[in-house]
Amino acid sequence: MSPVVGTPVLRKEDPRLLTGEARYVDDLVIAGARYLGMVRSTEAHAEVSSIDAGPALAVPGVEAVFTGADLQDAWAAPMPCAWPVTADMKNPAHLPVAVGKACYTGDIVAVVVATSRYAAADGAEAVVVDYKPLPAVVDIEDAATDRVVIHESAGTNASYTWALVPDPDAVERAFASAVHTVQERYVQQRLIPEAMEPRGVAVVPQPIGGDLIVYSSTQIPHILKVMLAVTTGVPEHKLRVVAPAVGGGFGSKLNVYAEELIALAIARKLNVPTRWTEDRTENAVATVQGRGQIQHIELAADADGKITAVRVKLLADMGAYLQLVTPGIPLLGAFLYHGVYDVPAYSFECTGVFTNKTPTDAYRGAGRPEATYAIERAIDALAAQVGVGTDEIRRRNYIKPDQFPYASPAGLMFDSGDYEPSLDRALELIGYEGLRKEQADRRASGSTKHLGIGISTYVEMCGLAPSRVLASLNYSAGGWEAATVRLLPTGKAQVVTGATPHGQGHETSWSMLVADRLGIDIDDIEVLHSDTALSPIGMDTYGSRSLSVGGVAIEMAAQKVLDKARIIAAHQMEANEDDLEFVDGEFRVRGTPTKAMPIQAIAFEAFTAHNLPDDIEPNLSESVTYDPPNFTFPFGTHVAVVEIDEDTGHVALVDYAAVDDCGNQVNPLIVSGQLHGGIVQGVAQALWEEAVYDDEGQLRNATLIDYLVPSAAELPSFKLDHTVTPSPTNPLGVKGIGEAGTIGSTPAVMNAVVDALSPFGITDVAMPASPQRLWSLIQEAKTR
């Protein structure tokens, strides 16, 4: 039996997803369920003067309408924020249904209960709400002035200021003695995550015993269960949370949402099943958004362009309230603003401010794309100043292979890395020399089709997270993951994991790990997940943690099963444990080829327990909870090639190469798939996507007509390769890859855009690089 880890095994999940057999929340058949319709504030900031439910109650099929006041007694606590980043952080009480005042369009002000999907929609449309509009705070810098304070109880729009300045004097000295300095201001526009499955929730009260089953389209059934208990007062052991098939999350389903709490509260109040499915247009305001930062980054460098200090100040948009991990998102990037470069002095400060907009929170990469963007754009600016190529400036500054493990200036220990080979290979894949020549030729010939080539080398910290590090960041939970591996009497295996897949192919990867460890066919392995009754302990899926934390837990549990099986095998075959070898799924007595027992037979012996050693318990079922000693630090280099039409400002992404290193790969098919999707999400930030709000705080592009999620027609295929630098911190040598593509791609594309426009003297372009924006910049440049 040859090992499967490292080979492109086709996914076990696919047949049910390809045939329509998979069940997402909205697919569940729930007898007697009432459909909920959310009445959302049409004003970004307003007092709610009155709510008239009468017209809604007259709609056929509408049974009840609840306002915020009606539901106030349903909450044991306000909605949770699990990351109080500072002791004095302002966290205004946030109720699932607003009482008295609405703070963003999308804030729920009333809930309609109806017998059908259509009646719920009609009812929500019919509720009459009178608003007394207040001035809306939309712009982040305006919010920071406290011209209008959104939350009276806080007294300011600033939620917190968090700083990481290990050695202030060193930073000052570096800037004082710098030959080159770069000062840049970048805007991380707000993004709408747009998981293809809108959110949904269904709550089914059990007829006897008071238990409640909550089905939710969530990345975090385990965390959600705890938070539902805390916020509704339902005892935790009375709750079972199930995430059925989940259609993508990208961080947006790493949250505890008002609708989940409302569905639970109303199911309890009325003792009926309740359900709600989000509309896409509703999703744009009701589901957390990503990014939303203004970044100031300064580099100090010597005459050769060797960076001596990085100083960063951020203003981060929290939105109207703090959701589950809102304040912590910018801080996930706080440690990475020096990127892949060996920088001795470091300073970071972030202020989070409230605005009258949808709350921000995790979105693929969460803090790390922003950090990577800033340093990777700034180093291109430095290259221009020093007068060297954008490849050369990077080579001069990379942390060198012999510096690993690398004690970073921000206080992290980078586990392993070798950055320059990824650059070399990416440049080779894209044909860098040829492209530079073509670019020069086009420029010389006066072509109006401008070629731009952009490089980005990234490193990220992922595999969230060592619990003690989380404690130091004031995060309210641990970062471990739990796993159980058990053999059933007939030799089949079950893997129980606290990781919660929503597209990542965990069932395949976990089966591969156990197949190799225990010599069992992957089709004989079942993975149980995403249901707190089947998998009671878990920390779920986000932060590229599933393999490097959850997978490692599984690997360790499988090893424990094997260790116990070895003891039983030795006993059964009357051999010494040391004389046993485990080959092709069976224990063999070295030198006695006829004496062998397959692991399936040992599973049966463990089950019957007729003949076990004295101190050995029946059954083969072992559990491990693994708390990683460190993050993992995947890295890579991405190169983007764009062509800009000077006449229209249109940008086309014409070629793209990425060389990534996530250590050992379990399933290269899944790794490349994660990269493809991640790259496109990052490219989309660069070229197409932005949640645009007007001065009144109205989202102007809530539909997928106006919010430009790209299709296949706008994109090329990608040239991928990888290097392998195993992580020394875990026995699998693996690192995360779920967010890497998004982290590497945005700066590569924007560096390419700026490179293309450099003949016009253009040195920065705001995102997204829309044709209108580029055309305007070119016009300005031409008239300068």
Query: Residue 544 — left, alpha, or beta (φ > 0 → left; ψ -120 to 50 → alpha)?
Result: left
Nearer to another protein (CB atom), residue 148 or residue 669 = 669
Q: Which stretch binds another protein (CB under 8 A): 227-235, 245-253, 569-577, 748-756?
A: 245-253
CB burial of residue 132 (10 Å; 0-12, 13-18, 19+):
exposed
In the region spanning residues 694 to 723, those forming contacts with another protein, defined by CB under 8 A, are 700-701, 703-706, 708-715, 717-718
Interface residue with another protein among 5, 26, 162, 351 (CB under 8 A) is: 26
Cα-based distances in Å from 302 to 105, 172, 220, 397, 457:
49, 14, 47, 11, 21
Output the 3-class SS for 368-434: HHHHHHHHHHHHHHHHHHHCCCHHHHHHHHECCHHHCCEECCCCCEECCCCCHHHHHHHHHHHCHHH
Asked whether position 173 contacts another protein by CB under 8 A, the answer is no
Distance CA 667, CA 507 (A): 12
**Minimal distance, residue 173 CB to another protein, in Å:** 45
Nearer to another protein (CB atom), residue 21 or residue 441 = 21
**Minimal distance, residue 769 CB to another protein, in Å:** 11
Interface residue with another protein among 3, 15, 100, 155 (CB under 8 A) is: 15
Distance CA 294, CA 632 (A): 27
Asked whether position 775 contacts another protein by CB under 8 A, the answer is yes
Asked whether position 440 contacts another protein by CB under 8 A, the answer is no
- Beta-carbon neighbour count of residue 444 at 10 Å? 8
Cα-based distances in Å from 91 to 150, 190, 255, 333:
12, 21, 16, 21
Nearer to another protein (CB atom), residue 477 or residue 669 = 669
Q: Which stretch binds another protein (CB under 8 A): 119-127, 133-141, 353-361, 392-400?
A: 119-127
Q: Angle CA(525)–CA(530)–CA(532) in degrees, nearest 5?
A: 110
Residues 6+ apart with CB under 8 A from 386: 180, 301, 304, 305, 393
Question: What stretches of 634-703 adopt beta strand conformation (E)?
Answer: 635-645, 651-661
Q: Which stretch binds another protein (CB under 8 A): 18-26, 131-139, 180-188, 626-634?
A: 18-26
Q: Which stretch binds another protein (CB under 8 A): 312-320, 630-638, 723-731, 766-774?
A: 766-774
Interface residue with another protein among 677, 726, 728, 760 (CB under 8 A) is: 677
Cα-based distances in Å from 767 to 297, 305, 366, 607, 646:
17, 27, 17, 61, 18
**Residue type for 375, please?**
I
Nearer to another protein (CB atom), residue 167 or residue 696 = 696
Distance CA 371, CA 336 (A): 6
Interface residue with another protein among 676, 726, 758, 760 (CB under 8 A) is: 676
In the region spanning residues 631 to 650, those forming contacts with another protein, defined by CB under 8 A, are 647-648, 650
Nearer to another protein (CB atom), residue 384 or residue 652 = 652
Nearer to another protein (CB atom), residue 184 or residue 690 = 690
**Minimal distance, residue 28 CB to another protein, in Å:** 8
Nearer to another protein (CB atom), residue 125 or residue 577 = 125
Asked whether position 783 contacts another protein by CB under 8 A, the answer is no
Q: Which stretch binds another protein (CB under 8 A): 430-438, 517-525, 558-566, 771-779?
A: 771-779
| Residue 529, φ and ψ in degrees, nearest 5 | -160, 170
Residues 6+ apart with CB under 8 A from 725: 416, 417, 418, 635, 661, 663
Q: Which stretch binds another protein (CB under 8 A): 116-124, 223-231, 472-480, 721-729?
A: 116-124
Q: Which stretch binds another protein (CB under 8 A): 71-79, 115-123, 143-151, 512-520?
A: 115-123
In the region spanning residues 567 to 596, those forming contacts with another protein, defined by CB under 8 A, are none
**Minimal distance, residue 349 CB to another protein, in Å:** 33
Asked whether position 490 contacts another protein by CB under 8 A, the answer is no
Interface residue with another protein among 122, 420, 516, 540 (CB under 8 A) is: 122
Residues 6+ apart with CB under 8 A from 132: 46, 47, 49
Give which of 101, 44, 113, 36 is closest to 68, Cα–Cα.
Answer: 101
Asked whether position 504 contacts another protein by CB under 8 A, the answer is yes
Q: Which stretch binds another protein (CB under 8 A): 205-213, 572-580, 609-617, 768-776?
A: 768-776
Interface residue with another protein among 6, 55, 248, 489 (CB under 8 A) is: 248
* C-alpha torsion angle, residues 440, 446, 451, 456 (rounded to 10): 60
Interface residue with another protein among 166, 478, 726, 771 (CB under 8 A) is: 771
# binding residues, another protein (CB under 8 A): 78
**Minimal distance, residue 265 CB to another protein, in Å:** 24
- DSSP for 71-84? HGGG-SSPPP----
Nearer to another protein (CB atom), residue 52 or residue 714 = 714
Q: Which stretch binds another protein (CB under 8 A): 142-150, 244-252, 608-616, 757-765?
A: 244-252
Interface residue with another protein among 603, 679, 743, 753 (CB under 8 A) is: 679
Asked whether position 10 contacts another protein by CB under 8 A, the answer is yes
Helix axes 552-572, 599-608, angle to 10 degrees: 80
Q: Which stretch binds another protein (CB under 8 A): 117-125, 129-137, 221-229, 484-492?
A: 117-125
Which H or E element spans position 123? helix 117-126
Asked whether position 669 contacts another protein by CB under 8 A, the answer is yes
Nearer to another protein (CB atom), residue 127 or residue 374 = 127
Q: Is 359 helix (H, G, I), strand (E, B) or coil?
A: coil
Asked whether position 6 contacts another protein by CB under 8 A, the answer is no
Q: H helices then E strands: how many in the chain?
A: 20, 28
Q: Is 509 helix (H, G, I), strand (E, B) or coil?
A: helix
Going residue by residue from 256 to 285, which x/- string records binding to another protein, judged by CB under 8 A?
---------------------x-xxx----
Interface residue with another protein among 6, 52, 117, 272 (CB under 8 A) is: 117
Distance CA 408, CA 424 (A): 24
In the region spanning residues 329 to 348, those forming contacts with another protein, defined by CB under 8 A, are none
Give which of 699, 712, 665 is closest to 6, Cα–Cα.
Answer: 665
**Minimal distance, residue 376 CB to another protein, in Å:** 20
C-beta of residue 719 within 8 angstroms of C-beta of residue 641: no
In the region spanning residues 733 to 762, those forming contacts with another protein, defined by CB under 8 A, are 741
Nearer to another protein (CB atom), residue 53 or residue 679 = 679
Which H or E element spans position 191? strand 180-191
Distance CA 544, CA 744 (A): 14
Interface residue with another protein among 175, 582, 688, 760 (CB under 8 A) is: 688
**Residue type for 739, please?**
E
- The residues that bridge with 188 in the sheet, in sequence order, are 293
Interface residue with another protein among 401, 405, 431, 673 (CB under 8 A) is: 673
Asked whether position 19 contacts another protein by CB under 8 A, the answer is yes
Asked whether position 652 contacts another protein by CB under 8 A, the answer is no
Residue entry with tokens 């309740």: 274
Q: Where are the alpha helices (H) located in 496-577, listed in sequence order?
A: 506-518, 552-572
In the region spanning residues 174 to 233, those forming contacts with another protein, defined by CB under 8 A, are 194-198
Nearer to another protein (CB atom), residue 9 or residue 214 = 9
Nearer to another protein (CB atom), residue 27 or residue 392 = 27
